[in-house]
Structure 1
């Protein structure tokens, strides 16, 4: 039987593209099959009416070790957020920054009501503690919930409710902070040791850069793989492709094979975009909504971070709504969002709705995480491997690492 490649990669998200890059660097022939019309999976950027819209608000953490080894940061033209956040509460808005990395925020941080003075000292202590703790050590620690961890570290209810809860909810996409303490320490370390950034032309530039290693004939779109049999795959259109190995790099809900991860729990998010003539705030920060019963968790003014996000020069406002809002009346949802935000930003009543994304599978559940999936985890059988962040933890770093490990597993198997 004629082989189309040595390895077929099913899925052109971050994990699959990373695997393809590693395989090609090892001189292995690959064929990447993607069901959609573009690369990126959950990390894609659309152009809508002159605006760049990421499918779900995301930031890239420059301290990610896998990314540092595999991406060209200069070519991505990364644009950075300032460390810290704007805290939106019943009293108004105040800034909680990082005086160590940005001395200009010292006074506003000291005056912020979002944390007690002792909390601010504990925050510094936590940064120093994690600076001296390796990633391997973090992921070998016993797991407790993030909520339990924060209490154990001595943080007050004030800073938990005013900062940690909305900030980590925006990252973990769950508002109970049941996410593993390992994940909290890892993410906090990454924020402390690098920058939160976005590529100037959208998050979609990350997978596009990874895909640069592929020739047009090595990356086929609109290929919905439904059957995997040994080294062969078949699409819903009846097309068949053959290889020595197959690597499944889809999220578990789209996997063409049944395995123990197929029913993994996951988190959803809705991402709403508005345009306006005037920015709601000028600081290159994320604003966090701390009110109970809120709809909007966090706000980002993306054109303030990168002016490439707005061709016209009007402002582009991204709102993150945690959970599944796809069944809500969309007009009422927009009205409720504006009504909620006009307390801090009265001009929100004149914002123009641009687009809303409802993302069912946005992140895997991270109540239990690892950073080193075993060989038996990524190898399904003699000819089939799997990769994806759900095998480790919900992050771009984990997606890339799982792709690399699966590719290396295939390469090593070929040598036997």
Structure 2
């Protein structure tokens, strides 16, 4: 039977696109099948009424080593957040910055009650400690929870509750900070050594750039794969595609070869967007809600970072709600969110709701992580390989590395 390509890649997320790009570079023919209407997987951006809405608040860390090798940063027109955060407390709002990278934040950081003076010295010590560790060393350390790690580093309950917990909750999408200490060290190192940024025209500029190497004949949308049998891939519409090898690059919930007995642990998030005539704050920072029992974990004014995110004369406010809020009464949820934020931003009552995204599988569970994926994990059988950040750790960097390792495994197999 005539083959449609040497390798069929199922899923056009970051991992699959990375693999396809590297396979094509090696001269191997590729056919990518994507169930949705566009590339990106969990990294998508929608245009709604003149606003750019990322599906879930995300930032891109410029220090990611895989991304440095694969992406053209200049073409992405990266727009950067300032290092640090605004801390929302019962007493008001303070600014915790990084005086080493941004000297202008020194005074406000020293005056901030979100951390003791000793905490601030320990933060500096932690930055220096991680600057001296490479990524391989970080991922070879024994694993404890992030909470236990921060306690061992001597941080007080004040900075734990007013900075680390809300800040890391926004990244890990879980508020117990049970996430592996390896993941904390890796992420903290990436924040310390690079910038947190967004592409000027939305996060999906990243997958779109990776997909530039694929022709319309090599990238097919609305192709939901229901079965993989050897080199034959069958879609929901009854189409059959043939290849020498198949690479499954979906998240594990949507894999066509998922084991029915496997328990897949993951974290969910809801992302709510509002527009207004006036920004709630002007500093290019993320605001962290430190209150217990909160709905909103963090707030970002997207057009303050990239003006293209909102239409002229308006602002775009992104709110992250940790967990699954899809079953809540949505009108009440919006009202409760606004009521909560009015404590700091009285104008919130005039904000206009744009859209809410409920993302079930936002990140894999990262209680145990690695930065490598061995050959046995990548190869499911003689003709089928797999990739994805869930095999390593929940990050764009891991998605890219997993895709690269899978592509290299296929290339090496074909050359034997």
TM-score by length of 1: 0.99
Assess, with a 3 A threshold, how the Cα gap between structure 1 residues 186 and 366 changes in structure 2: closer, same or farther.
same
Q: Which residue in the other structure is 2:209 paired with?
A: 209
Q: Report if the CA contact (8 A) 1:94-1:108 is conserved.
A: yes
The residue matched to 1:366 in structure 2 has which SS?
coil
Alpha-carbon deviation of 1:329?
A: 0.2
Q: Which residue of 2 aligns with 1:20?
A: 20
Indicate if the aligned counterparts of 1:307 and 1:313 stay in contact, CA closer than 8 A: no
What are the superposed Cα offsets for residues 99-134 of structure 1, whole Å, 9 maximum, x if unpaired?
000000000000000000000000000000000101
Equivalent residue, structure 2, for 1:363: 363
Tell whether the 8 Å contact from 1:378 to 1:406 is kept in structure 2 after alignment: yes
How do residues 228-377 of structure 1 correspond to structure 2 at under 5 angstroms?
A: 228-259=228-259, 263-377=263-377
SS of the aligned residue for 2:319 comes to strand
CA deviations 1:48-90 (Å, max 9, x no partner) are: 0000000000000000000000000000000000000000000
The answer as to 2:400 corresponding to 1:381 is no
Aligned partners of 1:76 and 1:3: how far apart in 2? 35
Contact 1:199-1:205 at 8 Å conserved across structures: yes
Partner of 1:11: 11
TM-score, normalisation: structure 2: 0.99
Cα distance in 1 for partners of 2:110, 2:269 equals 33
Give distance in 2, aligned partners of 1:246 and 1:16: 11
Aligned to 2:392: 392
Find the aligned partners of 2:215 and 2:260 in 1 and give their Cα distance: 34
1:90-105 aligned at under 5 Å gives the runs: 90-105=90-105
- Residues 261/29 of structure 1: CA separation in 2 closer, same or farther (3 Å cut): farther
After alignment, is 303-312 or 114-123 more displaced?
Answer: 303-312
Deviation at 1:373, TM superposition (A): 1.0
CA contact (8 A) 1:79 1:199 kept: yes
Aligned to 1:109: 109
The CA distance in 2 between the partners of 1:329 and 1:258, in whole Å, is 32
Is 2:144 the partner of 1:144? yes
> Aligned-pair distance for 1:262?
5.1
Q: Distance in 1 between matches of 2:344 and 2:305?
A: 21
Deviation at 1:264, TM superposition (A): 1.9
Quote the offset at 1:261 in angstroms. 9.7
Structure 1 residue ranges (4+ consecutive) displaced by more than 6 angstroms after TM superposition: none
CA deviations 1:283-335 (Å, max 9, x no partner) are: 00000000000000000000000000012330000000000000000000000
**Is the counterpart of residue 169 in structure 1 residue 174 in structure 2?**
no
Q: Deviations over 1:261-282 (max 9, x none)?
A: 9532000000000000000000
Determine the C-alpha separation between the residues in 2 that align with 1:287 and 1:109: 14
The residue that corresponds to 2:118 in the other structure is: 118
Superposition RMSD in Å: 0.8
Mapped to 1, the partners of 2:262 and 2:68 lie a distance apart of: 30
Question: Counterparts of 1:313 and 1:231 in 2: how far apart (Å)?
Answer: 54
Alpha-carbon distance in structure 2 between the residues aligned to 1:79 and 1:314: 18
1:322-376 CA-to-partner distances (Å, cap 9, x unmatched) read: 0000000000000000000000000000000000000000000000000001110
Distance of aligned partners of 1:114 and 1:260 in 2 relative to their CA distance in 1, 3 Å threshold: farther
Q: Distance in 2 between matches of 1:180 and 1:261?
A: 25
Name the CA shift for 1:150/1:136 in 2 (closer, same or farther; >3 Å). same
Mind listing any 5+ residue stretches in structure 1 that lack a counterpart? none
8 Å CA contact retained: 1:303, 1:315: yes
Q: Number of paired residues?
A: 416
